[in-house]
Chain A
Amino acid sequence: MATVINISDLRVEYPSRELGSKTTVAVDGLSLDVQQGQIFGFLGPNGAGKTTTMNVLLGFVEPTAGSATIFGVNVTDKSARQRLGYLPELTYYYKFLTPEELLRFYGKLFRIPKALLEKRIDEILGMVELQEARKRQIKTFSKGMQQRAGLAQALINDPDLLILDEPTSGLDPIGRMKVRQIIQRLKNEGKTILFSSHELGEVETICDRVCIIHRGTLREMGTVQDLVARHQCNLEQVFLRVVGYEGAAPHRPEGVTV
């Protein structure tokens, strides 16, 4: 399998807001690979460095040290984003546009030919179930519909790699289920997905591999089955233990389910 994302010894420092300290280290010596066709769960508590790592991959933040590539192209090169789709956490799209205008705008940035773009817009709006609302301004949308519009914009270029930052955050159970179904469908189409979420049950269901980062460093990485087997507990408990939460439950006795 080809390597889609390669992060090598990544370090990101920010100017510190604390008195007497010059810099804050957001990510420290992070190295990982994501292979083609995988759904890779990127886990960590708030402030662990997940979004900063994603921001490096997307070219928003320059690394202090180390490197990151997407499809072998350095992330600082804008062509690295040609085959990439990104869904940020809690974004409110241009509320004066309709979903089809939004997709047309983003499609133009990828220089998709007009006829193909219109066909793609029809397909995607169907996939995210926004066909009927395609001529309504986004300001009239519910949160779930906005998130699906966000997912639609991430898919407009038929990307080979999707970076999803907490795609189900703030959605009701139906909204979550719909987004999960779309992710599952994309997985079946062979897309590579880097997926950050606090919904560990969801991660357990969807992801092939996961990594847990805490305070900017990589603490665990492997398949969900590996981690669960190694720690003898479910993913949530693995997570709590890895991030040093003292209330994490001890080993689950054989045959006992919660």
Chain B
Amino acid sequence: MNNILAVSSVVMREMYRRKDFYVLLILTVLITLILGSVNLFNDSNIVRYLKEICLLLIWVSSLVIAITTSARQIPAERESRTIFPLLAKPISRTEVLLGKFLGCWLASGVALVCFYLFFGLISAARESGWPLGSYLQAVTLHWFMLAIVIAIALLGSLVFAAPSSNNTICFVVIAGILLIGRHLHKVAVGMEQPSRGILTVLYFLLPQLGWFDVRERITHNWPPLDAGPFLLALVYALVTASVFLFAASWVFNRKRLQ
């Protein structure tokens, strides 16, 4: 654990010394404040649209931070050759990988807290209530969903050599899963075999990232999820991330470093 924590602390230090997170946070703040200052159509429910847009920006920003941070970790180590002095120390490749994962996940968590704090301030300014329980649940689910995304991006960074191609592929895959993945089984119903079977299998194979998306509940001030489904989703995230990390470790341990 000592080695994993040491590697993760370097990843976190890298994130707060780079500008990506600050730029995304400032952009989200600016866009939300500009939209918030305009009273479109004299609609009293405009705050819901504002919350929806702000949450969408938070989701996009968090995915950008998580994917770009994790996708560059191992390729950057190889490109700058820091992987060699690192692995010449008493540390295994699996520990390096887990350290990278933990660092990216914690860094994304810190970023999420900042984003959601801003969101909380905006909604508190426009609405009377501040449903802390719902917000905490949303942040937690969002953060655990990022664990899966980070594990996928780390695996991708070991399969695709260039960080840019890995970034693009990860964005396409994650966006695909979020937008289409959750509807695949419904699409499959109206299809003939074998497409129906393939789509159904694909639906069950793909990580169910949609389970972690509770934006509608926040926007409409619905009550939070019950403890059962909430905890099940967290366990599902940990198991799915572990599967991808196991695959990444398998690939990394077989990679010839030259």
Name the A residues within 8 Å of B85 (CB-CB). Answer: 86-88, 91, 93, 106, 150, 153-154
Kindly specify which of B86-94, B186-194, B223-231 makes contact with the partner chain.
B86-94
Q: Is A141 an interface residue (CB 8 A)?
A: no
List CB contacts (< 8 Å) of B1-16 with chain A: 2-3, 5-6, 9-10, 13-14
Question: In the assembly, what is the distance between CA of A198 and CA of B5, in Å?
Answer: 39
| B residues in contact with A110, CB < 8 Å | 89-90
B82 touches A92 (CB 8 A): yes
Tell which of B6, B81, B90, B258 touches A81, judged by Cβ atoms closer than 8 Å: B90
B81 and A92 form a contact (CB under 8 A): yes
**Nearest CB of A to B85, in Å:** 6
A140 interfacial contact with B, CB 8 Å: no
**Residues of A with C-beta under 8 A to B5:** 108
- Contacts A61-B256, A96-B17, A97-B10 given: A109-B89 contact, CB under 8 Å? yes
Residue B22 at the chain A interface, CB threshold 8 Å = no
Contact A96 B81 (CB under 8 A): no
Q: Which residues of B contact A86 (CB under 8 A)?
A: 84-85, 88
Q: Please state if A108 and B6 are interface contacts (CB–CB under 8 Å).
A: yes
B42 CB–A CB distance under 8 Å: no
Residues of A96-128 contacting chain B, CB below 8 A = 96-97, 101, 105-106, 108-111
A109 close to B90 (CB less than 8 A): yes
Neighbouring B residues of A55 by C-beta, 8 Å: 257-258
Contacts A78-B91, A97-B13; A105 near B6 (Cβ below 8 A)? yes
A59 in the interface (beta carbon within 8 A): yes
- Give the interface size class of chain A: 35 or more
Residue in contact with B91 in the complex, picked from A51, A91, A109, A137, CB distance below 8 Å: A109
A4 interfacial by beta-carbon distance below 8 Å: no
Distance in angstroms between the alpha carbons of A150 and B81 in the assembled complex: 12
Q: Report B209 CB to chain A, min CB distance, Å.
A: 31
Contact with B along A219-256 (1 / 0, CB 8 A): 00000000000000000000000000000000000000
Report A-chain residues with C-beta under 8 Å of the C-beta of B18: 96
A-chain residues with CB within 8 Å of residue B10 when the two chains form the complex: 94, 97, 105
Q: Cβ of A108 and Cβ of B2 under 8 Å apart?
A: yes
With A61-B258, A91-B85, A105-B6: A78-B92 Cβ-Cβ less than 8 Å: yes
Taking the nearest CB of chain A, how far is it from the CB of B99, in angstroms?
Answer: 10
Task: Contact check, A92 vs B84: say whether CB atoms are below 8 A apart.
Answer: no
Q: Does B80 make an interface contact (CB < 8 A)?
A: yes
Residues from chain B with a CB closer than 8 A to the CB of A93 are 80, 82, 85
B88-A94 in contact (CB<8A)? no
A78 touches B257 (CB 8 A): no
Smallest CB–CB gap between B8 and chain A, Å? 11
Quick one: given A87-B85, A94-B82, are A105 and B9 in contact (CB under 8 Å)?
yes
Residues on the B chain within 8 Å of A105, using CB? 6, 9-10
The chain A residue with its CB closest to the CB of B18 is A96
Among residues of B, the one whose C-beta sits closest to the C-beta of A87 is B85
Cross-chain contact of A78 among B2, B81, B84, B90 (Cβ < 8 A): B90
A157 to chain B: closest residue by CB: B89
Is B84 touching A109 in the complex (CB atoms < 8 A)?
no
Judge whether A23 is part of the interface by a CB distance below 8 angstroms: no
Taking the nearest CB of chain B, how far is it from the CB of A84, in angstroms?
7
Annotate A74-90 by CB proximity to B: 1 below 8 A, 0 otherwise. 00001101101111101
Q: List 29 A-B contacts (CB under 8 A).
A: A60-B87, A60-B256, A60-B257, A78-B90, A78-B92, A86-B88, A91-B81, A91-B84, A91-B85, A93-B80, A94-B82, A96-B14, A96-B17, A96-B18, A97-B10, A105-B6, A105-B9, A105-B10, A106-B85, A106-B89, A108-B2, A109-B3, A109-B89, A109-B90, A109-B91, A110-B89, A110-B90, A137-B17, A163-B88
Apart from A61-B257, A96-B13, A153-B85, 12 more pairs, CB < 8 Å: A60-B84, A60-B257, A88-B84, A90-B81, A91-B84, A92-B81, A93-B80, A106-B85, A108-B6, A109-B3, A109-B91, A110-B89
